[in-house]
Structure 1
């Protein structure tokens, strides 16, 4: 059977009841890179070189970047960003990776090659705009800072991050543990084993370990910051943390007014009464030392998952964990767990909450640590942000969804530059 791709970072359009077939992205040329590909959309039909390049990097998932999906999310949703960008005379360079779940440091090498290629290919001397979506924003942030640390002139005037988890992302610990539990016991099943293990593989990949503020490697493990994330943050600091003499811009799919998504703390989010997983239940995050998952499987050892000292983060302001187009019911984080449960039980799980926050607003605009409940749930303080300028969405919406509000703001700032 074909395995659905559980994509959690690629720019998404709002979900549809019946997913459309993706049309081929109308790029003009492409640049093969070592570890990726850059697809170039010229601003005019008579071009053979970029003139005012805007490099935007793909985010995290498993496997290779899909230019058709990237273009569709940017152009065919609420706002035709690609068309609007080109009408302003900018050339769009969509940067994709051969393995989106590889280390951010590895994919930063691809971004560096792309930046150098854009400079070499460019007609004229217009400065570059460089950034990315979610993880792509961290990839390009590190790439620019690293080039500077090595004395290379990257000729970039503006950096843009689109709902990038500068201070970490959130995936409920119960969901992580459930994904590992399913893979551990049923990942070897014929036909569906790959699907059952795919989410766990994604959660334990190098990039996910670097992105997630709290990670759990096994159902029985402890939730904490992964060593891979600590090492990445140390390396980011080593190269200066941010590029200098560059305008640092960012947008958040989360609201900045302190209003969350109304998901309560410490309540059941997903439960199963099926023959295989009967008694399995996942809970939204609470403070203290709460149970976040009861994992039960027929003839399998049960596991109770607890966390210690985490904030009640599921309902915080921020970009919501994106749905997965093409899968029944458009599952998100708790929804993906429900989908895996239904695959095993052959009956629907009880799903109370499909998604939770994924990138808290304060993380997306680099204005506070998500460990701090007051910063997490409060109004964003512009003076606290490490960005020069940012915009938060009017209300909490799907992570990396392209909206007219955020898209227009980016275009205005690029033009003003």
Structure 2
């Protein structure tokens, strides 16, 4: 299964030929989507457990500006433990780990709880075990997670510099990385430091289900979010598509569309993604100083096992009589002008969206996101549980398989467990035993990370 450079979406504005029941008297608009952004990956916080308070909190300002913006953020420092169980008195074996893709400001308490959620039959916890092994956890958050990756990378550089300044004499080389887009932020930060001749003193780079070659949110879902957000919303909350139109989403998503009306090539629609990929190439693509080890994990499988979603099957047929209707399908398989979604609403008109040369990414092996479920819940549509979640970060992207990140000339079902040496930009990686939720800490991934960082 390969992706092709001519992958595109085409939108027609004709009325549906069959009787759709969307006609309504003049005036009025449909009351549709629930307020708030869509497609934000949830954190699985352990609310029953007391939040582990940090030993220190740092306010950080980016080391540079990007597109006129100097980003800011916060780091929460959690000291590791000595062999006798007493906390370190300072940074000894520091690990800087960055938050990922979402809207608005990071919540580092929730991020800690998410990464330290119990896994396995005996309820082991990843961060707790790392700290017990003497690793100092420096969780890095951002004031605007949805802004430019390069801007937040400046915050990551400031965090790395401060860790180096505060690390105790004789301390270990840094571990630096992040979850989801946090892995891209720190990847760029370290590579740029190397390119500019600055020593980052990092021994291990770690990415956790990071979309090194792009992530996937179905274009039909993006268009529906755009289409219905024009309905007035008195809540004052961000619009449903605000995360999708953000700089971070434009840089992150392999297939991105600007609105619900226009047609175009989805892999190159946003210049922000093209510019970010060029910036990565200009600074060296990955950090690569001698002695640095690059490792990562994928929430998707590596044995070719995909998810349950089949190409082109109906997800829901939702309507508000005489006001609005949407008929949504999973991403069809390749072909030309394959129907993905039909939508109509009073005063908004009709849209039929068709895709060409896009593979059935929804069912590819990868970390999952309940993107269809989120939209169905926002609309109040009925949806089968099997249709709620699809692939968000394909496994081939999370393990940094070497292929063109624009044409995506790659077998999405490649056997990654038997991958020949040199086919990945990572020195070592681990795929999950099932296609688990994006960024979820599972037993397979946690035990592999612990072995890599503490043995």
Please, what TM-score do these two structures have when normalized by structure 2? 0.81
1:56 and 2:97 equivalent? Answer: yes
Could you say which residue in structure 2 is the equivalent of 1:36?
A: 73
Say whether the 8 Å CA contact 1:11–1:402 is kept in structure 2. Answer: no
Given the superposition, is the C-alpha separation of residues 277 and 414 from structure 1 closer, same or farther in structure 2, using an over 3 Å criterion? farther
Give 2:237's match in structure 1, choosing from 177, 194, 203.
Answer: 194
Give 1:397's match in structure 2, choosing from 436, 447, 452.
Answer: 436
Cα shift readout 1:261-293 (whole Å, capped 9, x = no counterpart)? 121001111320223764311111111121111
Alpha carbon RMSD of aligned pairs, Å? 2.1
2:402 and 2:396 mapped to 1: Cα distance? 5
After alignment, is 85-94 or 362-371 more displaced?
362-371
Give 1:87's match in structure 2, choosing from 105, 111, 132.
Answer: 132
Give 1:113's match in structure 2, choosing from 115, 135, 158.
Answer: 158
Could you say which residue in structure 2 is the equivalent of 1:72?
A: 113
Q: Secondary structure at the match of 1:269?
A: strand
1:393 and 1:307 mapped to 2: Cα distance? 30
1:277 and 1:393 mapped to 2: Cα distance? 44
After alignment, is 165-174 or 286-295 more displaced?
286-295
After alignment, is 407-416 or 256-265 more displaced?
407-416
Residues matched between the structures, number: 390
1:46 and 1:250 mapped to 2: Cα distance? 28
Cα shift readout 1:291-313 (whole Å, capped 9, x = no counterpart)? 11111113420111112211111
Cα shift readout 1:127-162 (whole Å, capped 9, x = no counterpart)? 000000010000000000000011111000000000
Residue 350 (structure 1) shift: 3.9
Say whether the 8 Å CA contact 1:274–1:349 is kept in structure 2. Answer: no
Residue 77 (structure 1) shift: 3.5
Q: Where does the alignment leave 5 or more consecutive residues of structure 2 unmatched?
A: 1-33, 62-71
2:193 and 2:110 mapped to 1: Cα distance? 30
1:9-408 paired onto structure 2 within 5 Å: 9=41, 12=44, 20=47, 23-34=50-61, 35-44=72-81, 45-78=86-119, 79-124=124-169, 125-184=171-230, 186=231, 188-191=232-235, 194=237, 197-198=239-240, 200-221=241-262, 222=264, 223-225=266-268, 226-244=270-288, 245=290, 246-275=292-321, 278-286=324-332, 287-288=334-335, 289-321=337-369, 332-342=370-380, 348-351=381-384, 353-369=387-403, 372=408, 375-380=411-416, 381-383=419-421, 384-408=423-447
Give 1:8's match in structure 2, choosing from 31, 40, 46.
Answer: 40
Residue 373 (structure 1) shift: 7.2
Given the superposition, is the C-alpha separation of residues 415 and 277 from structure 1 closer, same or farther in structure 2, using an over 3 Å criterion? farther
2:435 and 2:51 mapped to 1: Cα distance? 30
Cα shift readout 1:347-393 (whole Å, capped 9, x = no counterpart)? x4345611110000000001154755761022122431111000000
Say whether the 8 Å CA contact 2:40–2:103 is kept in structure 1. Answer: no
Q: Where does the alignment leave 5 or more consecutive residues of structure 1 unmatched?
A: 14-18, 322-331, 343-347
1:277 and 1:271 mapped to 2: Cα distance? 14
Could you say which residue in structure 2 is the equivalent of 1:345?
A: none
Given the superposition, is the C-alpha separation of residues 153 and 116 from structure 1 closer, same or farther in structure 2, using an over 3 Å criterion? same
Please, what TM-score do these two structures have when normalized by structure 1? 0.88
After alignment, is 108-117 or 284-293 more displaced?
284-293
After alignment, is 303-312 or 269-278 more displaced?
269-278
Say whether the 8 Å CA contact 2:373–2:383 is kept in structure 1. Answer: no
2:331 and 2:409 mapped to 1: Cα distance? 13
2:165 and 2:321 mapped to 1: Cα distance? 61
Say whether the 8 Å CA contact 1:285–1:311 is kept in structure 2. Answer: yes
